[in-house]
Amino acid sequence: MRARQRPQRSGYERARPPQTDSRVQTPEDLRRTLQRIDGRGYKAYQDLRGVYDLSPFEIEIAHVQGDPYAPPSRVNARVPLPALGLERAADGERPRILALEDFLGRAIASAIRGQGTRDLDIDGYGQEVLARTAVQIRGGRLEVRLFVHLPAAGRRILGRQAERMFLEALPAILASGLESRHLDLEALRRHQDTTEDHAALTRIVEEKGWVAFVANDALLPRRAGHDDRPMLEDGETPVVRFRAPASLEHEVTLPHAGALRGMAVPHGVTLLVGGGFHGKSTLLEAVSRGIYAHIPGDGRERVATDPLTVKVRAEDGRAVTGTDISPFIGDLPYGRSTRDFATQNASGSTSQAANIVEALEAGARALLLDEDTSATNFMIRDEPMRRLLRPGQEPITPFLDRVRNLHLDRGVSSVLVVGGSGEYFRVADRVIQMDRYLPADVTAAAREIAPPGPAADAPFPPPPPERRLHLGRYRRQIGPKGPKVRAHGTARILVQREEVDLSACEQLVSASQTRSLGEILERLLVGGGGDPAWSRVGREFTPEDLARLLAGFGEDVLDKTSGFARGDLAAVRTLEVIAMINRLRDLEVMSGETSLR
Ligand code: ADP
Ligand code: MG
């Protein structure tokens, strides 16, 4: 039977398994088809759909683009691991296999570059090791998902060129990217050891109750704001490697690196102080990225952070829907309540308050705040200002007055970059000064200047009553073609006609993660599209419901999300999924029996 020839558009259509010819065809069949359609209109390429035996690889031409300018066609290659000589490398726990997938994806990318072809592509890899759909190893088999531009002159099929691509370039790329005899096995082992060590270090951080661990000799600064690779020596200024201050130095033992020392950031309130340009933000940023494993040579391989750590910032202009920001913002002018605060245009301080409360609601265990991206009036209020304003004139309780009880009452730690105010000395458990890119423990000196005051006034309130998120307004807009959700780069998602700005979700590192967010949102909009697991979260859901749903899919969460085999998705935390939903401008929120907004 011939497969349906319409390009897949909507979530409903996508949810169906692709109907390809299940009969396995030979390379000769592929050659014959290409010779037959050579020179014909582009649509005839649809005849390629199917499965081909290009031993040892099985090639599935899963989706054929409708025209030369449409998004590329999708081709999946499957092969048993023993055929690659990789069964030993795939022997191990999940982090080791994840690292193997990541390594092979990068090897394919470099094989594609080596072939000099622009017609084949794989997902884009960065400094992090992320679970991706581009390469997946399951049950002794490996699947690679590639993008293919089917060659044409105008709209006319270039069959010979396609033949060379499928029967020469593609097998060569797969062989040199995947077969162990073509791989740098020493580099592969390093890749796997490094990833496995990061997983072990993360476990240690969690067990010890630390926020993070930064190993001595780590290299934290990056090459440029838009270039995440490690900073290079330029001859003028040195690149300073990290060294823990003695009082915070701990030793950990990792399965491959063995015993190593570094700085543990304990739970509680940690201040990073120091003069401008001395490396405060760079350290905080490295801690923020420590939720991910990094590739060997990155410099941050041995920085690990509690996976439930959220970097929060001011984000004026964002929409807020039914968030209880009253721990930070009391009644607004003219008696406007902040227990179920809603706005289409939050200020610096209200947006930062909402970001924190929503992160807590989503399960954050530690917060990272940088003065560079915080609202000053949210962070501090100094004595002269406190004296000037009468009670009731200032709705904001600055983070300064809350941070300690946030830890004492809710167990949530904070790491703060504060170069401009010593007021925080009174509430900090420790103060680390960055001096020429090196940390020093200056807690004692800071205590002498500003001894800890009486515990801050009011306890940090318990979490607000169950807040349920509801996407009804978006569902009602869905047309016959299904919902329209598109990710653009790392920081933007288009849903129907709305652009959701995710640039404040600073721990998103890859456009593939943002595409995953888009897929999850689309799935939620169609109520699962027939998949019972998804429909269980129902029309409205708490962040916890969503977390449980996504966790229930285990390592196959990305494929369970996309409904068809996309090769350009990467793992993303539930924290970011919830952050995305909270930013939707037409979100509705229910609590108890009532609709808040
Ligand atoms: P701060 O937040 O204290 O003002 P930053 O962290 O922004 O300082 O760092 C200032 C500059 O120094 C940045 O350009 C950064 O890349 C660079 N830098 C940071 N850490 C190091 C380091 N360990 N070695 C060399 N340069 C560094
Ligand atoms: Mg800074």
Query: Cα separations (Å) of 289 from 245, 383, 577?
Result: 21, 35, 17
pLDDT at 8: 40
Q: Of 242, 263, 437, which is best to mutate to test ligand 1, by the most ligand atoms within 8 angstroms of its C-beta?
A: 437
Q: Which residues contact 53 (CB under 8 A, 6 or more apart)?
A: 24, 25, 26, 27, 59
Question: Domain ends where: 448, 464, 480?
Answer: 464
Residue 14 has pLDDT above 50, yes or no: no
The reply to whether 474 falls in a domain is: yes
On the CB side of 241, CA atoms within 13 Å amount to 10
pLDDT at 597: 55
pLDDT at 586: 96
437 Cβ below 6 A of ligand 1:
yes
pLDDT tier at 1, thresholds 50, 70, 90? very low
φ/ψ of residue 552, rounded to 5: -65, -25
Q: Which segment of 258-267, 394-403, 569-578 scores lowest on mean pLDDT?
A: 394-403
217 Cβ below 6 A of ligand 1:
no
Closest ligand 1 atom, residue 284 Cα: 6
Residue with CA closest to ligand 1 atom 11: 277
314-371 residue pLDDT tens? 999 999 999 999 999 997 878 778 999 999 999 999 999 999 999 999 999 999 999 9
Same domain, 283 and 429: yes
pLDDT at 275: 94
Closest ligand 1 atom, residue 437 Cα: 23
The reply to whether 3 falls in a domain is: no
Question: Domain ends where: 409, 432, 464?
Answer: 464
pTM for this entry: 0.94
pLDDT at 535: 79
DSSP single-letter state for residue 10: S
pLDDT at 593: 60
Q: Which residues contact 58 (CB under 8 A, 6 or more apart)?
A: 24, 51, 52, 77, 78, 79
pLDDT tier at 234, thresholds 50, 70, 90? confident
Closest ligand, as measured to the CA of 370: 2
Domain of residue 314, residue span: 208-229+240-464
Question: Domain ends where: 399, 431, 464?
Answer: 464
Q: How far, in Å, is the centroid of ligand 2 from the Cα of 248? A: 22
221 Cβ below 6 A of ligand 1:
yes
Q: What is the mean pLDDT of residues 213-239?
A: 94
Closest ligand, as measured to the CA of 234: 1
Q: What is the mean pLDDT of residues 467-485?
A: 92
Residue 9 has pLDDT above 50, yes or no: no
166 Cβ below 6 A of ligand 1:
no
Q: How far, in Å, is the centroid of ligand 1 from the Cα of 366? A: 23
Residue 142 has pLDDT above 90, yes or no: yes
269-327 residue pLDDT tens? 999 999 999 999 999 999 999 999 999 999 999 999 999 999 999 999 999 999 999 99
CB crowding 5-43: b at 16 or more within 10 Å, else e: eeebebbbbbbeeeebbeeebebeebeebbeebbeeebe
The reply to whether 215 falls in a domain is: yes
The reply to whether 501 falls in a domain is: yes
3-class SS at 19?
coil
* DSSP E strands, 312-403: 320-323, 341-343, 366-370
Residue 153 has pLDDT above 80, yes or no: yes
Closest ligand 1 atom, residue 285 Cα: 6
220 Cβ below 6 A of ligand 1:
yes
The reply to whether 481 falls in a domain is: yes
Query: Cα separations (Å) of 281 from 206, 276, 434?
Result: 23, 10, 10
Q: How far, in Å, is the centroid of ligand 2 from the Cα of 565? A: 42
Q: What is the mean pLDDT of residues 417-423?
A: 92
Same domain, 103 and 252: no
Alpha-helical (H) ranges within 399-531 are 403-410, 443-449, 472-476, 511-525
pLDDT tier at 16, thresholds 50, 70, 90? very low
On the CB side of 98, CA atoms within 13 Å amount to 23
Residue with CA closest to ligand 1 atom 16: 221
The CA dihedral of 173, 175, 179, 182, to the nearest 10 degrees, is: -70
CATH number at residue 296: 3.40.50.300
List, as own/partner pairs, every contact residues 444-450 make where C-beta atoms lie below 8 angstroms and the sequence separation is at least 24, other chains included.
446/271, 446/273, 446/422, 449/422, 449/425, 450/422, 450/423, 450/425, 450/426
Q: Of 277, 285, 368, 436, which is best to mutate to test ligand 1, by the most ligand atoms within 8 angstroms of its C-beta?
A: 277
Same domain, 412 and 480: no
Same domain, 36 and 175: yes
Residue 38 has pLDDT above 70, yes or no: yes
Same domain, 301 and 420: yes
The reply to whether 199 falls in a domain is: no
pLDDT at 571: 96
Same domain, 224 and 109: no
pLDDT at 596: 52
How many domains does the chain divide into? 3
278 Cβ below 6 A of ligand 1:
yes
Residue 19 has pLDDT above 60, yes or no: no
Q: Which segment of 82-91, 244-253, 267-276, 523-532 scores lowest on mean pLDDT?
A: 523-532
Contact 294, 199 (CB under 8 A): no
Closest ligand, as measured to the CA of 283: 1
Closest ligand, as measured to the CA of 227: 1
Residue with tokens 């998949």: 531
Same domain, 480 and 455: no
Residue with CA closest to ligand 1 atom 27: 221
Same domain, 70 and 156: yes
Q: How many helices (H) and strands (E) does the chain have?
A: 19, 32
Q: Which segment of 55-64, 133-142, 530-539 scores lowest on mean pLDDT?
A: 530-539
pLDDT at 358: 97
pLDDT tier at 389, thresholds 50, 70, 90? confident
The reply to whether 169 falls in a domain is: yes
277 Cβ below 6 A of ligand 1:
yes
φ/ψ of residue 540, rounded to 5: -135, 150
Same domain, 356 and 244: yes
Instruction: Using alpha carbons, select from 79, 70, 84 the residue that is nearest to residue 52.
Output: 79
Same domain, 504 and 414: no
**How many CB atoms lie under 10 A from the CB of residue 387?**
8
Contact 281, 547 (CB under 8 A): no
Contact 312, 506 (CB under 8 A): no
281 Cβ below 6 A of ligand 1:
yes
Closest ligand, as measured to the CA of 282: 1
Q: Of 239, 241, 282, which is best to mutate to test ligand 1, by the most ligand atoms within 8 angstroms of its C-beta?
A: 282
279 Cβ below 6 A of ligand 1:
yes
| Sheet strand arrangement including 468-470 | 540-541, 468-470, 588-591, 594-595
Same domain, 331 and 447: yes
Same domain, 449 and 473: no
The reply to whether 508 falls in a domain is: yes
DSSP character string of 449-465: HS---SPPSSPPPPPPS
3-class SS at 197?
helix
pLDDT tier at 2, thresholds 50, 70, 90? very low
What is the rounded end-to-end Cα distance, in angstroms, of the chain?
Answer: 50
Contact 129, 232 (CB under 8 A): no
